[in-house]
Structure 1
Amino acid sequence: MTALFPYRDINIHASTTNYAFTSPSNPSAPTLVVDRPSGHIWLNDKPMTGGKRVTSIAGILGMVRLRLDKYIIVITKAVQVGRIKEHPVYKIQATEFLPLREKPLHDSDEDTYLQLLTTHLKNGPMYFSYSFDLTNTFQRQVHADQNLPLWQRADTRFFWNRYISSDFIDMCSASPAVNPYVLPVMFGMMSITATAVKSTPLSFILITRRSRFRAGTRYFSRGIDENGNVSNFNETEQIIITGSVGAGSTGYDKNTASQEKQQVQIMSYVQTRGSVPVYWAEINNLKFVPRLLIRSIDPAAAATKHFAEQVRIYGDNYCVNLVNQTGREKNVKEAYEGVVRSIVSNPIEGEKSSLRSEQQFRAIEPTEQRSIVDHVHYIFFDFHHECRGLKWHRALLLLDQMGDALEKQKYFHATESHAGLTVKNLQTSVVRSNCMDCLDRTNVIQSMLARWTLSRQLIDLGVLNAGEKIEQYTAFESRFRNVWADNADVVSRAYSGTGALKTDFTRTGKRTTTGALADGVNSLTRYYLNNFRDGPRQDAYDLFLGTYLPATSGITSSLMFVDRRPVFIQSVPYVFLGALVFLMAVIFTTSPPSTVLALRFFIGFSVLVVVWCGIFIKNHGMLYINWPKLNNLAWANEGYNDALGKVAKDKIIGKWVARHERGASSIRLVHLEEGKKRIE
């Protein structure tokens, strides 16, 4: 019978003609062979030992074709981060690229592709288990076919290496013996902690799974696409397990061996977050607050697809919108409300007040149940207005508004014994939260809802008495807060490049001046990264997830990552820095009197250069953004062309730009159209 779970140990036998993969602990299993340099995959019933190199690996991540060669990506090091019940969970620590050509071909593009993928794998938090499906919630696992291989049970949204595993997956239907070589990997956050509440040992687990659809960075991936996928979609599952605590890397605690006879209680609570499901973008232009663009395309069809899938998977969706009701964010709020009105049947809306607040909640509810999207409920909570002045405890007002819905949605609860798994309760709905980035405000609200539900679960288990709250137990409360703050940081780094804002409140329960200062530093860091470093990060997502295919791009030479801006445009920042350095040197250097007149002239000239260059860069900021190079952003291309056109029309410097570009394309991004290949 073919193994349903991935092999825990794999050896690579590398030779000049192939790579052969074997499992030492499964000597009867066929050898997986990848021919060099064709990449043809086949199985050999006989062991293929030998080769000039034999290496032990933790698993095969996948295989990717770049422009000049194909590479097998293998996991060379993984560390165990804990156990979910008896199942060990690992985090990827190191990977290696195995080229199919014996003498790999290189050019600047190929090296850049490899560097992008290497950095992505190094910085992306990726987890896997050989015996447990990390991509699915406990509730979904109950309904999964346990006779399927692990990778076939995986939720395709969170199967992060699904694209690069496609060569091996394609073989599985014809050769089921390939199944154990396919290892599904999850991108996101994982925390597994053995703890106790009122002397009751339990395993406290938090898992956040990031969707591979419409994945990207903060300003280069916003809103929804035509297939209903939204940016920065994450599913967070909070789990408590009693009766079997296996969070440590060494498995069960010997002192709790008696617990093995107890009935295992499993409780989980799921929330989601995702970008506002309309067509919108924030356009980088070097300003601290980018220009907001709500596209005129009707998002109703895409939003219907999005919510139809969400309702099918999670049940009723309670969409909590946390953006501001004034200023630039107001446009996003109104667009969201507009699309909800357009997709639900006979919507009824109005202001609702809590016992402690008036007219701060806006709700949109369907009055009929004619279609699947009539299970969408919209709630607006002006987070910044309610919590202004560091009064973040007022976020609890949202609980007043959602009390009935939270009671009705319940949570997943199952018991496990020698007789098997018994489901006692199912979660019937989900809270889908968002702010502008789905990061900072969103995480505060999600942790608040998770705490409320956790108290309810422990009361139902009999661990807490009726009326008690988990906040009363300071040791566990501190652990809970820090785990949720860590979750905020992981989700934020993947999207914005920095840790989350407002985590001082999540960690300590109050907003502090120190935390506000730290948020200021993080905001400045985000500004730098989002404008000058996120282009390559977006390219890495597109490359790893298969939304850009180098092998079929049509580019025949090393041109993809060449800076095509006019030399004059490229030189302005260097002139600015040079003049600034000269000014600093003069200020801090003493000079003889005979040179004062000359220095004054050069100082005056340098000041003029610095001021002119600064104004030029500020006025033409789009020319200095580090844009993605692989997949073209239509609005970025248009904005870049407009900015370059303005420079070309300048009476003084326009001729320098035009002269550089005469007879050639003036659009730095237009070459992307030649190589743009998308898998929708």
Structure 2
Amino acid sequence: MSTLRVLCRDQPRRSIALATNDCVLEITQPHVDNTRSGPAKNQDANRYLLEAFFRSSEDLQGYRVLGEGWGTLGLISLNNDVFICVVTSSSRAATVRPGETVLKIENVDFYCLNRSDYEYGEDYQTQSRFAAEDIGSDELNDHKDVITDHPFLALKRLLSDGSFYYSRDFNLTDRIQDRSTTSSTFGIDGLNKDMLWNSYMIDPLLLFRSRLSKHEQEKLDGSRILTSVIRGFAGTLAIPASALQVSHWASNLPSSLTIISRLSSRRAGTRFNSRGIDDDGNVSNFVETDTILWSPPGITFSYTQARGSVPIFWEQTPGLIPGQQKIEISRSFEATQNAFEKHFDFLELNYGAVHIMNLLSDTKNGELALSSEFRKHVAKRSAAHQGESSTSFDHHLLRMTDFDFHAEARGPLGYEVSNLIYDLIKRALNGFGYSLIEGNNPEKSSLSDRNQRDVPRVILQQEGIFRTNCLDCLDRTNLVQTIISLMALELYLNQRGGNMVPEIRMRHSALWADNGDALSKVYAGTGALKSSFTRHGKMSLAGAFADARKSATRLYVNNFADKARQNTIDILLGRLNNQVPVELYDPVNDIVMAELERRAEEYTSSRNIRIWAGTFNVNGRGDGTTTDLSPWLLGLREKEGDNPTLVVVAFQEIVELSPQQIMSTDPLPRMTWENSVKDCLNEYADRFKTNRYVLLRSGQLVGAAILVYVREDALNDIKNVEGSVKKASKSYPRFFTMFTNNTIKTGLSGMAGNKGGCAIRLEFSNTRICFVTAHLAAGFANYDERNKDYATISSGMRFRYNRSIEDHDAIIWLGDFNYRIGLENQEVRQLIKLGELGKLYEHDQLNLQMLAGRTFPFYSEGIIKFAPTYKYDIGTDNYDTSDKSRIPAWCDRVLWKGAGLKQIDYRSANLKTSDHRPVLSLFDCAISIVDETQKEKLNRVLYDQHRSKLRTIASGNLLDDDNDDDVLLPSANSLGLPPPSSDRQKWWLDNGPGARSNIKPSTQGDMPNIIGRSNPFAQSNEPEWIKPQTLLEVASSNWSIAKPQRPQKPTTLIQQLTPAKTNMAQYSDVGAANNRDRELKPRLPPQPPTWGTDHLTPEAERIQPRHASADLLDGDDPVMEKWKPLLPHR
């Protein structure tokens, strides 16, 4: 039977209450127009008032029941409506120990807080216009008006897919070894946010809870209204007492074997949408798995393993051919090391020593490249930690074992070759040990013993962990982790005098097969491959057919369904750029936030960094890589040894534009230019012994490329670097956007990449910066096409979580924009010789188009003091002397936007290896740095100060912004006033004076003087009370009023008008035909006002001629043109 009721009250304001037997959480909607049925348009629509009452829910009056459930996952805003999510159905999935049950979510429901529209039509899953997989799809949003009847359907389907678990008995987000020593404690304060999947939804409720008193917190926790969920797998199988042959265990009760897997929410996503590592050290598909054996004497064995994507920056594009999805490493070794270190710092802090099981192939190019980079990072970290004491004598802090699973499995043993792992890791396994806890014995001899739980006692702790990875961390990983788990369990039983009997092995394999299938469905959309071998210990024909079917299903899901699945996951985790969290209104918090903003200088600092940005169209020539690039790359140095923090280099036409090159991307030329630029920068840095540069990220779209380098000392300040070079494979109408993450194709109707743009974005401390390179349409007269190219790139390019180019604090565009000069060839060349660059700039197409607001709105460009950069004869200073004789132009430009950007210099460099001259610019960029620790400390102090001042809160006015200034007024009690009213309590009705006045007259029988005192607040000689007879006499004298006179007619009669004869055939336009009814009726002159003659206007002033103009309506009678009524004078 459910323990939670969902109640609703519609008046005076809509409220939703979550009620248990002794606790009620009431959420009230803000002051909005209740007559509207559409979504709330108020910018404060996400603000709600939450109140907690610790009393029986039977006291609630005026509420109706909406549903029942087991707990709430939190609040979320969807399409401007706010919903609360409630678990309405769940089933038992596992029992870790007696009294510790894990429940699997079977169904959730969403209840709208601000309107009742969603309460009708319970079969919304069949009535909705689109399937859940379609909701949030960019393709639908781009091409259709998607009107989904139930915006929560995709989330409902996700949360009800059987992969989410919760417990009402213990903190499921932590492994058993890390829990509190008192296992009965339900530790909401100790939730592990890494494994918590409803953190975004539940955070407003947890913030509300943190502001309650300790006693109220305990009552709220005891109600189990707040529910924390993990995603992954949980399962238990019973082991008969006869199978667990341990001599000193004399119990006849069965034992239980449990597997619990927790998938991290930090870098969650689907197979091809989430790969590698991020700047905070979080990896994709990171799973923590516990193998737990509880036995009746109260002994709990547990063993923890982890899996996760290769911890470097890499990406993979989906494709229709299995095994042909291209793997690309997106950051250099140096730019990756910082994130790699963070990841293994986290592992060592939480688990101790780490032994890596790398199952990648040594023959497949993509996997070989990943393994090579992985080994280099491990070697560097190990070398840096040499000499440090190890966790145990059997293991160092970090070791790595390579096991090419596919190569080994091709032999006669097949998948059974995985058992060879035993010899490779036996020493490390013994060194790590396992966790052993004593307590929770159900066989108590006395009632008092049964009423008091054992306090668990830790006997042994696991001192290290195996981190296993393959490419997807699914199939191969699951098989190897099964073997490691079995080895640890066997080690434990042998040390306790028991044996690994086939019955235990069979149950263990069945649980791990279920675990592998569940994790694979979450990440790849299907069950795990090789699960038949995991389950039965051998590969059957049926298992092979099942694997083939799963592979085909994965192919479909990864190419056609994962985009929508990823979008739904991002909504659940609150990652989308336009998501607004639900705010539980707290007047004290509003005051604190305003004061925090005013005192921002106490926790915020700023500093300037120097950014060098340059662009070069190399004309498809590869010999430029061997040329000295220092006149360009080392230009604008204010002093010797001065190195900018960021160096942004853009290239165009790095490959010859042949049909083969246009239809596909060759990365080799880009990599050659990367090394040339890096060598030039670091040679200069080494000469002056300054910090060297590392390649942070690069991107390429056929001939266009962008490279971002950063000084080594600034790497720790940079995070969330994005910029994929994935290319679309469809063709769209001309200039229709084709994009993946940061590349847009515009040329050749979008089918190829000869023109377009790519971008890289990053966050430097708390400042968001975006760099965009573009190669726009060529041709003297094609400035309109170039404008369209810009619009396509600017509006169509998207980063993760739907971020656009404009969602940044500083933006720099650089590239070959191809805008020309609108003058004759000879005139342009003559002005160049004369140095009249200002006159040339007056006719520059980009300048004119920007002034007209047709392209690059709100962007700036520095004063151009250099000659046009196109087109030169290669190797000379002469402009084009060929038969085409191109008109010189400033094709290569650098534009910028952002309040924190300041351009220092802007010029060209004298490199003659191309028909273009490179352009370079130097910027100062103001970087904002927020000390989050200091900010949180100040926030806590201010909140405590203002809360102490707040004596009484008028709940009925909490949501009025106009009343914010009145929150800290003196309390009502201090002024001798009754407490303020609310929706449930009204002081004039509850234990107080009645609503009617109880003032009594000074003389019995007198009445209030309603005639003599027109203003009761002004001084008057009239008495306040009067005899009834006196009142009648005064009234009779005032009512003796003469009858009003009828108004006189005006002396001059208005011309009598007759209806005009209208021939309808003369009307040939729609406007005239629509006036047919008006023309057939007699037209009457304006009548005099009916309220008297004092305000009549003389006819000469009242009637004015109206001239035929735009004010004349179609079909106006010419007679009516002679007069125009005026409003009467006031």
Same fold (TM over 0.5): yes
Structure 2 residue 633 is matched with structure 1 residue 503: no
1:96 and 2:109 correspond = yes
Distance in structure 2 (CA, Å) of the matches to 1:202 and 1:311: 32
Match status 1:42 vs 2:51: yes
Deviation at 1:112, TM superposition (A): 7.8
Q: Partner amino acid for 2:49?
A: H
Tell me, yes or no, if the aligned pair for 1:198 and 1:463 is still in contact at 8 Å: no
After superposition, give the CA deviation of every residue in 1:423-442 in whole Å (9 maximum; x if it has no partner).
21111100000000000000
5 Å-filtered alignment, 1:142-153, equals 142=180, 149-153=186-190
Is 1:411 aligned to 2:424, yes or no?
no
The residue that corresponds to 2:17 in the other structure is 21
Q: Which residue of 2 aligns with 1:512?
A: 540
Partners of 1:637 and 1:332 in 2: CA distance: 23
Which string of whole-angstrom CA distances, capped at 9 and with x for unpartnered residues, describes residues 559-614 of structure 1? Answer: xxxxxxxxxxxxxxxxxxxxxxxxxxxxxxxxxxxxxxxxxxxxxxxxxxxxxxxx
CA contact (8 A) 1:286 1:625 kept: no
Partner of 2:229: 185
| Secondary structure at the counterpart of residue 481 of structure 2 | helix
> How far apart, CA to CA, are the structure 2 residues paired with 1:314 and 1:322?
21
Of 367, 380, 384 in structure 1, the residue corresponding to residue 386 of structure 2 is 367
The answer for the alignment partner of 1:558 in structure 2 is none
Question: In structure 2, what is the equivalent of residue 445 of structure 1?
Answer: 480
Equivalent in 185, 192, 196 of residue 159 of structure 1? 196
Give the stretch that moved more between structures: 510-519 or 334-343.
510-519
For 1:344, what is the secondary structure of its paired residue? helix
Compute the displacement of 1:296 (Å). Answer: 2.5
Give the corresponding residue for 2:313: 279
Q: Secondary structure at the match of 2:111?
A: strand
Residues 15 and 51 of structure 1 are in contact (CA less than 8 Å); yes or no, is this contact kept in structure 2?
A: yes
Task: Tell me by how many angstroms 1:398 deviates.
Answer: 1.7
Matched, 1:81 2:77: no
Change (3 A) 1:24 1:635: closer
Q: Return the offset for 1:408.
A: 1.0
Measured in 2, the distance between the counterparts of 1:552 and 1:56 equals 28
Counterpart in the other structure of 1:454:
489
What SS does the aligned partner of 1:217 have?
Answer: coil
Give the alignment partner of residue 230 of structure 1, picking from 283, 286, 306.
283
Residues 188-241 of structure 1, C-alpha deviations (whole Å, 9 max, x = no match): 101111122634421010111111110000000000000000000001101011
Give, in angstroms, the shift of residue 40 of structure 1.
2.1
> CA distance change for structure 1 residues 32 and 452 in 2, over 3 Å: closer, same or farther?
same
Aligned position for 1:336: 374
Q: Aligned partners of 1:316, 1:341: CA distance in 2, in Å? A: 15
Residue 87 of structure 1: how far off its partner (Å)? 2.5
* 2:424 alignment counterpart: 401
CA shift, 1:462, in A, is: 2.8
Name the structure 1 match of 2:803. 673
For residue 367 of structure 1, report the CA deviation from its aligned partner.
3.5
Distance in 1 between residues matched to 2:340 and 2:789, nearest whole Å: 45
How far did residue 12 of structure 1 move? 1.7
- Write the mapping of 1:251-650 to structure 2, written as runs, cut at 5 A: 263-288=297-322, 289-297=324-332, 298-328=335-365, 329-345=367-383, 367-369=386-388, 375-389=397-411, 391-416=414-439, 417=441, 420-464=455-499, 470=500, 472-473=501-502, 475-552=503-580, 622-623=727-728, 636-638=741-743, 645-647=750-752
Match of 1:203 among 256, 264, 281: 256
Alignment-mate amino acid for residue 6 of structure 2: I
Q: Alignment partner of 1:167: what SS?
A: helix
2:891 alignment partner in structure 1: none
SS of alignment partner, residue 342 of structure 1:
helix
Aligned residues: 550
Classify the secondary structure of the residue corresponding to 2:91: strand
Q: CA deviation at 1:34?
A: 0.7
2:859 alignment counterpart = none
* Cα-to-partner distance string for 1:432-475 (whole Å, 9 max, x where unaligned): 000000000000100001111111222233332xxxxx2x42x3
Distance apart, 1:321 and its partner CA: 0.5
| 1:357-396 deviation digits (Å, cap 9, x = unpaired) | xxxxxxxxx6322899972211111111122145222212
8 Å contact from structure 1 (residues 623, 643) kept in 2: no
CA distance in 1, matches of 2:747, 2:235: 47
Provide closer, same or farther for how the CA distance between residues 293 and 170 of structure 1 changes in structure 2, counting only shifts above 3 A.
same
Please state if 1:172 is matched with 2:209.
yes
The two structures, once aligned, show a CA RMSD in angstroms of 3.6
- Residues in 2 aligned to 1:22 and 1:97: alpha-carbon distance in whole angstroms: 13
Displacement of 1:8 after TM fit? Answer: 7.2
Moved more, 228-237 or 55-64: 55-64
3-state SS of 2:803 partner? helix
CA distance in 1, matches of 2:549, 2:361: 22
Q: Structure 2 stretches of 5 or more lacking a match?
A: 31-46, 119-127, 129-144, 245-253, 442-448, 582-662, 665-701, 703-725, 732-737, 756-776, 779-784, 809-931, 933-1130
| Cα drift, residue 664 of structure 1 | 5.0
In structure 1, distance between residues paired with 2:516 and 2:730: 27
1:218 aligns with 2:271: yes
Distance 2:509 2:302 in 1: 17
Higher-RCO chain (CA-CA 8 Å, sequence separation at least 6): 1
1:22–1:52 distance in 2 versus 1, CA, 3 Å: closer
Identity of aligned residues (%): 28
Displacement, 1:74? 0.7
By percentage of residues, which structure has more helix?
1
Q: For 1:449 and 1:58, how far apart are their aligned partners in 2? A: 37
CA distance in 1, matches of 2:474, 2:362: 18
CA distance in 2, matches of 1:634, 1:225: 22
Aligned residue number for residue 683 of structure 2: none
Q: Deviations over 1:452-506 (max 9, x none)?
A: 1111222233332xxxxx2x42x33222212111111000010000111111210
Amino acid at match of 2:158: H
Structure 1: which amino acid aligns with 2:209? C
* Secondary structure, aligned partner of 2:555: helix
Q: Tell me the distance in 1 between the aligned counterparts of 2:92 and 2:459.
A: 31
Q: Any conservation in 2 of the 1:504–1:511 contact (CA below 8 Å)?
A: yes
DSSP-derived class of the 2:189 partner: helix
What secondary structure does 1:276 align onto? coil
The separation in 1 between residues aligned to 2:739 and 2:201, in whole angstroms, is: 27
Q: Distance in 2 between matches of 1:163 and 1:371?
A: 38
- Which residue number corresponds to residue 73 of structure 2? 61
Q: 1:52 to 1:670 in 2, by over 3 A?
A: same
Change (3 A) 1:519 1:199: closer
Residues 161, 215 of structure 1: alpha-carbon distance in 2 compared, 3 angstrom cutoff: same
| Residue aligning to 2:1113 | none
**3-state SS in 1 of match to 2:548:** helix
**Aligned partners of 2:236 and 2:258 also within 8 Å:** yes
